[in-house]
Amino acid sequence: MTQMEYHRPVLLTETVAGLNIQPNGVYVDVTFGGGGHSQEILKHLGEHGKLIAFDQDKDALKNAIDDPRFLLINENFRHLKRFLRFYGYKEVDGILGDFGVSSHQFDAPERGFSTRFEANLDMRMNTDSPVSAYQVINHYSESDLRNVLFQYGELRSAAGMARMILEARAKESIKSSSQLKSALGRFLPSHKENKILAQIYQAIRIEVNQELDALKEFLVQTPEVLKTGGRLSLISYHSLEDRLVKRFMRNGLFQGEPEKDVFGRVEVPFKLVGKFVIPSEEEIKRNNRARSAKLRVAEKI
């Protein structure tokens, strides 16, 4: 595996610019992947600057950058604060996150992330995790499957899909992508098959990797970890992620509104920097996966 397999990151220039990098500052890339964002950050750092990267996928370790200013931690970003403290960093100047699945994960058939390949049901970002797509499909109750498909895939036919999965797995275990597709065939009309399959895969993947829980845990740590004036520069790819990022940047909460003090003032941890950014038509032509990306930047108050 080479770094080329990871391709150029989405919104590379804009995301790194959002950090407003100070040459001797300390920055964190919580989704290292192929290292594209990290390499760009390092170009802006001086000799006393520091970049700490996180990635729970062991494959990403092969892309570690040989630079004394760089440290790669093989952990989920939900453990951000703990590992920064472990390595002696109480506060940092900026945090970058590019959520979702990396190009490498999508393009490696054996990982089971893509609807394009025949593969075993896996979808684990951390290959040591005990829960894979196979466990979700073959061991979850009908109501749990329905909830996963409805909440994370936003599928109107979630109840019927869950019922069909149970009927199919009663005959034999559903081990592969083709078996899953076959079990759900009645819900996959040819003109919508790819779109609906993408929603099904998204739902299962989010459940397998507990992606929204991890994102929430990460976000609530950021006000404590960032210095005043420090920046958050985050890319999300679907409405469930983006909603959490947007609400937390705006209110410091995931739902509801912040409380006002006796003078009617609201205390929030961040101020928004500009409007959200989406990729240009040219970038989407170069990389179709960029089409749903949304970049938001905020500054710690």
Superfamily of domain 3-104+211-300: Vaccinia Virus protein VP39 (3.40.50.150)
DSSP strand pairing (26-29 vs 70-73)? unpaired
What count of other Cβ atoms lies within 10 Å of the Cβ of residue 299?
A: 19
- Determine the average pLDDT of the residues in 84-101: 96
Domain boundaries, the chain: 3-104+211-300, 105-209
Mean pLDDT of the chain: 95
- Is 105-209 CATH 1.10.10.10? no
CA distance 1 to 151: 35
Q: Residue 301 corresponds to which tokens in the numbers above?
A: 């108050």
* 105-209 and 3-104+211-300 share a CATH fold: no
pTM: 0.94
> Which pLDDT tens digit goes with each residue over 177-194?
999 999 999 999 999 999
> Which pLDDT tens digit goes with each residue over 100-146?
888 788 888 899 999 999 999 999 999 999 999 999 999 999 999 99
Quickly tell me which residue has 């609807």 as its tokens.
Answer: 115
Where residue 6 falls among pLDDT bands split at 50, 70, 90?
low
**Amino acid code (one letter) for 158:** A
Per the DSSP assignment, residues forming a β-bridge with 86 are none
> Which pLDDT tens digit goes with each residue over 242-268?
999 999 999 999 998 888 877 878 889
Instruction: Write the CA distances from 14 to 205, 270, 277, 281, 289, integer angstroms.
Output: 27, 19, 8, 15, 17
- Determine the average pLDDT of the residues in 287-297: 93
CA distance 235 to 290: 10
